[in-house]
Amino acid sequence: MSSDHESLLEDLLAGEHRALARVISKIENRSPGYRDLVSELYAHTGEADVIGITGSPGAGKSTLVDKLAETYRERGETVGIIAIDPSSPFTGGAVLGDRIRMGSTVGDMDVFVRSMSARGTLGGLSTATADAVKAMDAFGKDKVIIETVGAGQNEIDIVRTADTVTVLVPPGSGDAVQTLKAGILEIADVFVVNKADRDGADRTVRELRDMIQLGEGGGTGGAGGGGHHSQEVIDAHDDWDPEDDEDGDEDEGWTPPIVETVATKGEGVEAFIDALEDHQRYLVDSGTRAVMTRQRYAEEIRTLLREDVHAMLEDRLAAAGGVDELVEAVRKGETDPYTIAADVLAPVEECVDELELEDSVSEE
């Protein structure tokens, strides 16, 4: 790692917000050497609670995140906020500014807000988001909040980054719940019916409760039922000893609570924080958090391998004259895509085979 990056890392770990901003910029822009920076961050992560806030547009996510951060600060905790914004069609950058929607915490440096571009990624989460979370975690933020753009059921991507996923559901007719049910409800660890002072809020709460009881909502997903997790996570729930639970009640997994809030007035925010803390406690007591961390790292490894192999193969194609010539050969009937793929991969497979042979010889 270069001396500049070493100095930047030292400043970040020392708690300088300007260094945190620069590191996240390097991560988002995929600047040269950013991987070395992120690699060094891992040894300093694992302390922050990562909270995902998602839901349909107009549900009041930004206002609730603002009040949530304000309340955490009143409790003496530091907060990092990553707001995933729609990408600009011209620059690819975030359209909405860092502070436009966060009014109560402006001027408080212990609430660090960063807008990041969705860059067209499904669910509004760019690959850089997970690395930005690590930067905030290593910096020492107690809570890291990810607010997504609210792009429908593909918001399930947030699960790969957040420990606790909150789904906001606006009050109104059952149509809103039915629309969400197809995908986004299944990822919820906590439900929030915001704008609970409006007509239809009680009905929305009843519908959510009915769906949870029927096993159609977050009760079969979230961290509680393993709907988006591997069998390993489900086993962790099954192995949880109810006697370890402070209440001593028989455990049947995590059932997502439903919290009613009026974010504009700050009502229900304390109850929301209590629900988040209950879930964090559950993750630790049940062993689920450790399992989720292993699962997340496994996915990160796979993602990096896919990116690197893809880049390597693109370079090989360029060296071979580019895709256009190969496409033209397929069009003329001289070859086919399967043969081309096999030819491009052949040298890679040979290198892997040679490495395996060398390892087996050295072991002997």
207 and 323 belong to one structural domain: no
User: How much is the pLDDT for 192?
Assistant: 93
Specify the number of domains making up the chain: 2
260 and 125 belong to one structural domain: yes
Burial 109-123 (b: 16+ CB within 10 A, else e): ebbbbbbbbbbebeb
Largest CA distance in the chain: 75
Domain hosting 306: range is 301-363
60 and 182 belong to one structural domain: yes
Q: Does 289 map to a domain?
A: no
265 and 164 belong to one structural domain: yes
257 and 216 belong to one structural domain: yes
Q: What is the CATH number of the domain that holds 56?
A: 3.40.50.300
Output DSSP code: residue 99: S
Query: The pTM is what?
Result: 0.80
313: Cα separation from own chain's centroid: 28
Q: Does 314 map to a domain?
A: yes
Q: Does 18 map to a domain?
A: no
320 and 186 belong to one structural domain: no
257 and 112 belong to one structural domain: yes
Residue 258's contacts (CB-CB under 8 Å, 6 or more residues apart) are 191, 192, 193, 205, 208, 209, 212
108 and 170 belong to one structural domain: yes
User: How much is the pLDDT for 181?
Assistant: 59
Q: Does 293 map to a domain?
A: no
255: which 2 tokens? Answer: 């059932």
88: which 2 tokens? Answer: 């600009």
70 and 218 belong to one structural domain: yes
274 and 321 belong to one structural domain: no
161 and 217 belong to one structural domain: yes
138 and 200 belong to one structural domain: yes
User: How much is the pLDDT for 154?
Assistant: 54
Q: Does 41 map to a domain?
A: no
User: How much is the pLDDT for 91?
Assistant: 43
357: Cα separation from own chain's centroid: 39
Strands (DSSP E) along the chain, which ranges? 49-55, 79-85, 111-117, 143-147, 164-168, 190-193, 258-260
Q: Does 77 map to a domain?
A: yes
Q: Does 36 map to a domain?
A: no
User: How much is the pLDDT for 93?
Assistant: 46
Residue 142's contacts (CB-CB under 8 Å, 6 or more residues apart) are 47, 48, 49, 72, 77, 78, 79
pLDDT in tens, the chain (364 residues): 788 899 999 999 999 999 999 999 999 888 999 999 999 999 999 999 999 998 877 788 889 999 999 999 999 999 999 988 765 444 444 444 444 445 555 556 789 999 887 655 544 456 788 999 999 999 999 999 999 876 554 566 676 789 999 988 888 756 666 656 556 667 889 999 998 898 888 888 988 888 888 775 444 344 444 444 444 554 544 454 544 444 444 446 899 999 999 999 999 999 999 999 999 999 999 999 999 999 988 988 888 888 888 888 888 788 777 888 889 999 999 999 999 889 888 888 888 888 777 777 666 6
Q: Does 233 map to a domain?
A: no
